[in-house]
């Protein structure tokens, strides 16, 4: 089994090295300097191999740090002050439910990718050895990653607080809990496939599967907002039970002989790139709305855009509408709670203005600019960019203007609920002595929505990241979208706390007022040259 892992690991490193070399060849400054025989350069491949191996070691801890920062940092910052020792119980509560959700949706034992295709189907490696050896490596990464990150976090809490936030035993139990949940979920998934032929990792669980994910996320973040968390004693008992149940799960996974049949049933195993393309296109075609009488009063590119929105309204309009309805329900519950409880109203009033910077991260996740541009490419631009008339500057710019209005209007559906609801909630919960804060709340939220809408559409037209095979291959696009999140996270959790909410809102509006014209000008000047199919 060790030899099987080493072979598959070397193959994965080789693919990663080739990916690094591909990225280097795509960088504008290095594109003309690096020779065409780059992939055959021994010294460069050695350097890339060293970088890939270092990244593999670095990913042990970097992924966990990013995970804790994204899923725990904002929630704990909103619910607790810096020196509040009670944050430990909230952390354990969120960790429990996110671990259960991760066991269902981040459990790659049956995930078949290009490496699986090369190793199991082309090189004829034993599927059981391949699956189990790589899964053991994945679990070790989780175990060491959580232990290596939680230990300094506990020591830091002990240094900042007079007493540690939690018992040091949790440093050992939480990594074991994460591994145990994944083992149990993997064994259950394999047993379900053995009996009914269903692979939940292939999203074949359908709506009940996603409903369970939603309930787990709601329990993770919703219950602490109401002051309800799982007691430490109950959590300790659950940890012990799950760790014990993981033992027979390990035995079941070790004895099973269904792994090759699992990979054969996985749609990406036979030919990954083609299967992905066919699956994506088929999924989009199933959601098309084709009705008689579809049309528009406009002409030209505006007509094309209107027809596109009508035919793809299930993908484009349905989710913003559902999110707007959910937000209306949350707002109604908050208004009712403020009206019934003075103490809760005072708490909401105190936190509402102060947490305005945190809404930058909320709006980042609500915004669907990147998803909308992906739908536009897969269902329209992917085919039409092959024609010369569609690449004419006049057509590109006219369609850009029509799409800009569309993206902004779609994102404004849920945004309008937040922009109107926050000032109303502030008024009902006790109001404010500075009336300017009412329009500031609404204006800041609307500005964030417009910013993200323009930002992602401009990036799409300037860096068009997709190839004709529906693969995303643009280092610059990936880097800029990643930087966008990091900046939003830093501003929402760190920089925003250094400013008064009034100053933050003013700075945000001024920044967007300066950024948006520059971004639109770049799109108008450069999009006719950059908006094309990638090879």
Q: What does each of the 535 residues of the chain score in pLDDT, given as a tens digit?
A: 778 877 777 777 777 777 666 766 666 666 666 666 666 666 666 776 677 677 777 777 777 887 887 787 777 776 765 555 566 778 888 888 888 888 887 778 777 777 777 787 778 888 888 888 888 888 888 888 888 888 776 766 655 555 444 556 677 788 888 899 999 988 888 888 888 776 665 445 556 777 787 888 888 888 887 778 888 788 888 888 998 999 999 999 888 888 888 877 765 444 445 555 554 555 555 555 555 556 667 777 888 888 888 887 877 888 888 888 888 888 888 888 888 878 778 877 777 777 788 888 888 888 888 888 888 888 888 788 878 888 888 888 888 988 998 999 999 989 999 998 888 888 888 877 788 888 888 899 999 999 999 999 999 998 888 776 556 667 778 888 888 888 888 888 777 667 787 888 888 899 999 999 999 898 888 888 888 876 6
What's the rounded Cα separation, in Å, for the pair 17 and 516? Answer: 38
Query: Which pLDDT score is estimated for 303?
Result: 83
Query: Which pLDDT score is estimated for 184?
Result: 92
Can you state the percent helix, strand and coil of the chain, rounding each to 5?
80, 0, 20
Domain range list for the chain: 61-270, 304-530
Question: How many other CB atoms are there within 10 angstroms of residue 338's CB atom?
Answer: 21
Question: Which residues have C-beta within 8 Å of that of residue 529, sequence separation ≥ 6?
Answer: none
**Residue 499, phi then psi, degrees to nearest 5:** -110, 155
Which of 432-441's residues contact partners 24+ apart within 8 Å by CB, and which partners?
A: 432/349, 432/353, 434/502, 436/502, 437/353, 437/501, 437/502, 440/356, 440/501, 440/502, 440/505, 440/506, 441/352, 441/353, 441/356, 441/505
What's the rounded Cα separation, in Å, for the pair 226 and 217? Answer: 14
Distance from CA of residue 165 to its chain's centroid? Answer: 29
What's the rounded Cα separation, in Å, for the pair 252 and 7? Answer: 25
Residue 297, classed as helix, strand or coil, is coil
Helices (H), 122-231: 127-160, 169-196, 206-225
Please give the model's pTM, rounded to 2 decimal places.
0.66
Residue 465, classed as helix, strand or coil, is coil
What's the rounded Cα separation, in Å, for the pair 42 and 26? Answer: 20
Question: Which residues, in sequence order, are bridge partners of residue 472?
Answer: 466
Query: Which pLDDT score is estimated for 454?
Result: 92
List strand residue ranges (DSSP E) for 259-355, in order. none
Closest CA to 404 of 528, 529, 516, 533: 516
Neighbour-count burial for 486-523, b at 16+ CB within 10 Å, e otherwise: eebbebbbeebeebebeebbbebbeebeeebeebbeeb
Query: Which pLDDT score is estimated for 104?
Result: 81
Question: 299: which DSSP letter?
Answer: -
Question: 120: which DSSP letter?
Answer: I
**Residue 250, phi then psi, degrees to nearest 5:** -65, -45
How would DSSP label each residue in 379-436?
Answer: IIIHHHTTSGGGGSHHHHHHHHHHHHHHHHHHHHHHHHHHHHHHHHHHHHTT--S-TT
Give Cα separations from 425 to 259, 356, 363, 442 (angstroms).
Answer: 54, 13, 18, 12
Question: 510: which DSSP letter?
Answer: H
CA angle, residues 20, 143, 56, in degrees to nearest 5: 10
Q: What's the token pair of residue 176?
A: 């074991």
Is the separation of the CB atoms in 362 and 444 below 8 Å?
A: no
Query: Which pLDDT score is estimated for 38?
Result: 60
Query: Which pLDDT score is estimated for 489?
Result: 82
Q: What's the token pair of residue 261?
A: 């049949």
Give Cα separations from 408 to 411, 412, 417, 521 (angstroms).
Answer: 5, 6, 15, 17
Query: Which pLDDT score is estimated for 164?
Result: 47
Closest CA to 213 of 366, 315, 98, 92: 98
What's the rounded Cα separation, in Å, for the pair 217 and 98? Answer: 7
**Per this entry, what is the length of the chain?**
535
What's the rounded Cα separation, in Å, for the pair 100 and 189? Answer: 14
Q: At what angle do helices 437-463 and 342-354 cross, to 10 degrees?
A: 50
Question: 257: which DSSP letter?
Answer: -
């Amino acid at each position: 089994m060790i030899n099987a892992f080493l072979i598959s690991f070397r193959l994965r490193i080789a693919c990663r090295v080739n990916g690094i070399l591909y990225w280097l060849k795509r960088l504008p400054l290095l594109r003309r300097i690096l020779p065409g025989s780059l992939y055959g350069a021994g010294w460069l491949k050695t350097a890339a191999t060293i970088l890939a191996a270092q990244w593999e070691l670095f990913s042990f801890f970097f992924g966990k740090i990013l995970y804790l920062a994204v899923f725990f940092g904002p929630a704990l910052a909103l619910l607790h002050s810096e020196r509040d020792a009670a944050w430990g119980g909230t952390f354990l509560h969120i960790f429990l439910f996110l671990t259960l959700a991760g066991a269902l949706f981040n459990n790659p034992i049956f995930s078949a990718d290009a490496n699986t295709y090369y190793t199991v189907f082309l090189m004829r490696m034993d599927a059981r050895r391949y699956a189990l050896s790589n899964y053991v490596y994945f679990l070790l990464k989780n175990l060491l990653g959580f232990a290596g990150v939680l230990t300094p976090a506990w020591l830091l809490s002990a240094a900042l607080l007079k007493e540690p936030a939690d018992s040091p035993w949790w440093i050992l139990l939480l990594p074991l809990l994460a591994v145990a949940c994944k083992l149990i979920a993997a064994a259950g998934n394999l047993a379900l496939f053995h009996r009914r032929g269903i692979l939940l990792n292939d999203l074949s669980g359908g709506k009940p599967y996603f409903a369970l994910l939603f309930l787990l996320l709601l329990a993770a973040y919703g219950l602490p907002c109401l002051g309800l968390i799982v007691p430490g004693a109950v959590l300790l008992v659950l940890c012990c039970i799950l760790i014990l149940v993981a033992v027979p799960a390990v035995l079941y996974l070790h004895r099973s002989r269904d792994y090759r049949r699992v990979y054969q049933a996985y749609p990406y195993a036979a030919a990954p790139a083609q299967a992905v393309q066919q699956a994506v296109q088929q999924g989009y075609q199933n959601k098309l709305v084709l009705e008689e009488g579809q049309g528009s009063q406009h002409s030209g590119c505006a007509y094309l855009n209107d027809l596109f929105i009508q035919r793809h309204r299930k993908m484009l309009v349905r989710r913003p509408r559902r999110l707007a309805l959910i937000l209306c329900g949350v707002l109604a519950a908050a208004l009712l709670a403020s009206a019934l409880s003075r103490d809760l109203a005072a708490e909401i009033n105190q936190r509402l203005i102060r947490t305005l910077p945190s809404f930058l991260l909320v709006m980042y996740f609500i915004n669907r600019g990147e998803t909308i541009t992906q739908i536009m490419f897969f269902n329209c631009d992917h085919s039409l960019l092959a024609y010369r008339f569609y690449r004419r500057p006049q057509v590109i710019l006219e369609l850009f203007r029509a799409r800009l209005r569309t993206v902004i209007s779609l994102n404004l559906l849920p945004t309008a609920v937040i922009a109107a609801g926050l000032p109303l909630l502030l008024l009902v919960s006790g109001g404010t002595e500075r009336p300017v804060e009412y329009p500031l709340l609404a204006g800041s939220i609307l500005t964030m929505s417009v910013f993200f809408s323009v930002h992602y559409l401009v990036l799409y037209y300037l860096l068009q990241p997709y190839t004709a095979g529906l693969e995303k291959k643009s280092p610059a696009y990936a880097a800029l979208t990643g930087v966008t999140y990091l900046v939003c996270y830093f501003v929402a959790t760190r920089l925003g706390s250094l400013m008064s909410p009034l100053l933050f809102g003013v700075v945000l509006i001024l920044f967007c007022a300066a950024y948006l014209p520059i971004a639109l000008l770049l799109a108008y000047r450069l999009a006719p040259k950059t908006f094309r199919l990638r090879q």
